[in-house]
Amino acid sequence: MAGKNNPWGGGNDDPGEPKGESGPGGDSGPRNPWLPGGGTGEGGKRRSASIEDIFKNRGPEGPRRAGGGGGGPTFRIPERPGGKSWLPIVFGALGLIWLAATSVHFVQPGEQAVVTWLGGKYSRTFDSGTNFTAPYPIQMVEKENVTQIRSESIPANGQEKLILTQDQNLVDLSYVIRWNISDLTNYQFQLANPRSALLEIGEAAMRAAVAKQPLNVVLTGAGRAEIEQEVREKMQDRLNAYRSGITVQGIEINKTDPPARVEEAFKDVSSAQQDADAATNRARAIAQQVLARAQGDATEFNNIYAEYRLAPEVTRRRLYYETMEAVLSKTDKTIVEGGGNVMPFLPLPEVQRRARDSVAQPATPKQGQ
């Protein structure tokens, strides 16, 4: 290292020169590369570096050492031919892509889209097809399927929904509401939560309709169609008054059961009611048969009376003969009209009857046999 300058000490290593001396004033010690002039202050005395001195000498190319030495390697963006930068072109291409992606909107068949300014103020509504808007976030687009039939089950997750009937009884009732969006603009801006409003209106209408029917009508399903129609009409009237943009397509009652705590008692009552209905039906059938027989007899009597009025004597004799024939046919006696020259009568019917009785009775064994 002889004959070379020491960057941390004096200018040479001559043995004849006192060690530790450097520069004017003979101040000893290494020079500080972070200070101008190697850290020599006023009067040629050496001083320590402060934080201001360190950052004062840091340029865009890194820290510079005292003495004007060059910095480390630096990074530069490649330039276009002619010395211009690529950054404007890169930013311009990204802007075009962003503009195309947020300004062109494809609305599918059955859908509609609502356009708003900065996500708040309504601008217009798009139908299906290709549409254009200002780029995001100047204009925002929200799409909805307006032809899809949506279903809402009440109550959800199979829970119990108790509703009071006309005769002050409770029934566990579940039903489904089918609806779709008829006006997307009103649906988006008139109500804060259209689905929640639909469920609340449906429950109120169902409770009002069930409260007009007795329990047996609700349980047996006799008035189910009437209840469904009434609920649908009431819901639609209320939704139209709110300008909700919703159309109720139908109401379907899925279950009408007694509360779980009294289900067994309701089953007993239902069984007794069914038995009573069956007995009533049988009594009505018998009454109809008796009435039909009586009506037939009355009709027959009226016919005979009409014939009697036309020929009283002939009709009287015919009735007498028919009556005597009906009565005497059930006896074993024979009546013969005539004088004393009547031949002896042989009671053949009595003989035949006794013969039948003897054949029917088994022979009785004699004593000792």
pLDDT at position 39 is: 54
More confident residue, 326 or 200: 200
pLDDT at position 346 is: 60
Domain membership flag for residue 9: yes
pLDDT at position 98 is: 86
Residue type, 112: Q
Q: Are residues 118 and 54 in the same domain?
A: no
C-alpha 185/C-alpha 181 separation (Å) is: 10
Q: Are residues 127 and 163 in the same domain?
A: no
Q: Are residues 48 and 94 in the same domain?
A: no
> Number of structural domains, the chain?
3
pLDDT at position 356 is: 77
- 109-141: b or e for each residue (b if 16 or more CB lie within 10 Å)? eebbbbbbeeeeeeeeebeeeebebeeeeebbb
Residue 22: Cβ within 10 Å count: 23
Q: What average pLDDT does this structure show over 278-296? A: 94
Q: What is the pTM of this model?
A: 0.51
More confident residue, 265 or 244: 244
Q: Are residues 204 and 124 in the same domain?
A: no
- The last residue of a domain, from among 194, 227, 257: 257
Tokens matching residue 120: 């708040």
Domain membership flag for residue 339: no
Q: What are residue 139's DSSP bridge partners? A: 117
Euclidean distance between the first and final Cα of the chain, in Å?
168
- The last residue of a domain, from among 235, 257, 279: 257
Q: Are residues 200 and 158 in the same domain?
A: yes
- Residue range 330-351, pLDDT digits in tens: 776 666 665 566 565 566 666 7
- The last residue of a domain, from among 257, 272, 296: 257
Domain membership flag for residue 342: no
Q: Are residues 139 and 165 in the same domain?
A: no
Please, which residues have CB within 8 angstroms of residue 251's CB and are 6 or more apart in sequence?
175, 176, 177, 178, 202, 206, 228, 229, 231, 232, 235
pLDDT at position 51 is: 58
pLDDT level of residue 14 (50, 70, 90 thresholds): very low
pLDDT level of residue 3 (50, 70, 90 thresholds): very low
- Residue range 60-88, pLDDT digits in tens: 444 544 444 445 555 566 677 776 777 78
Domain membership flag for residue 290: no
Q: Are residues 158 and 248 in the same domain?
A: yes
Tokens matching residue 214: 């007795």
- Residue range 113-159, pLDDT digits in tens: 898 988 788 888 888 888 888 888 888 888 889 999 999 999 888 78
pLDDT at position 198 is: 95
Q: Are residues 191 and 243 in the same domain?
A: yes
| Greatest alpha-carbon span in the chain | 206
Tokens matching residue 96: 């075009």
Domain membership flag for residue 184: yes
Classify burial at 152, counting beta carbons within 10 Å of its beta carbon; exposed 0-12, middle 13-18, buried 19 or more: middle
Q: What average pLDDT does this structure show over 287-292? A: 94
Q: What average pLDDT does this structure show over 181-188? A: 91
Q: Are residues 155 and 184 in the same domain?
A: yes
Nearest to 231 by CA among 245, 259, 212, 216: 212
pLDDT at position 206 is: 95
pLDDT at position 148 is: 92
* CATH number for position 230: 3.30.479.30
Q: Are residues 137 and 210 in the same domain?
A: no
For the ranges 47-51, 96-100, 321-325, which has the lowest average pLDDT? 47-51
Domain membership flag for residue 77: no
pLDDT at position 92 is: 85
With vertex at residue 147, the alpha carbon angle to CA 141 and CA 153, rounded to the nearest 5 degrees, is 105
Q: Are residues 166 and 247 in the same domain?
A: yes
For the ranges 62-66, 182-186, 317-321, which has the lowest average pLDDT? 62-66
pLDDT level of residue 329 (50, 70, 90 thresholds): confident
pLDDT at position 207 is: 94
CA trace torsion 258, 262, 267, 269 (10° rounding): -100
pLDDT level of residue 22 (50, 70, 90 thresholds): very low
- 53-91: b or e for each residue (b if 16 or more CB lie within 10 Å)? eeeebeeeeeeeebeeeeeeeeeeeeeeeeeeeeeeeee
More confident residue, 259 or 82: 259
Domain membership flag for residue 356: no
pLDDT at 263 over 60: yes
Domain membership flag for residue 75: no
Contact 145, 132 (CB under 8 A): no
Nearest to 181 by CA among 205, 150, 143: 150
pLDDT at 46 over 70: no
Q: What are residue 144's DSSP bridge partners? A: 112
C-alpha 171/C-alpha 260 separation (Å) is: 10
- Residue range 221-252, pLDDT digits in tens: 778 889 999 999 999 999 999 999 999 999 99
Q: What are phi and psi of 255, to 5 degrees?
A: -145, 135
| Structural domain boundaries enclosing 96 | 88-145
pLDDT at position 17 is: 45
Q: Are residues 156 and 250 in the same domain?
A: yes
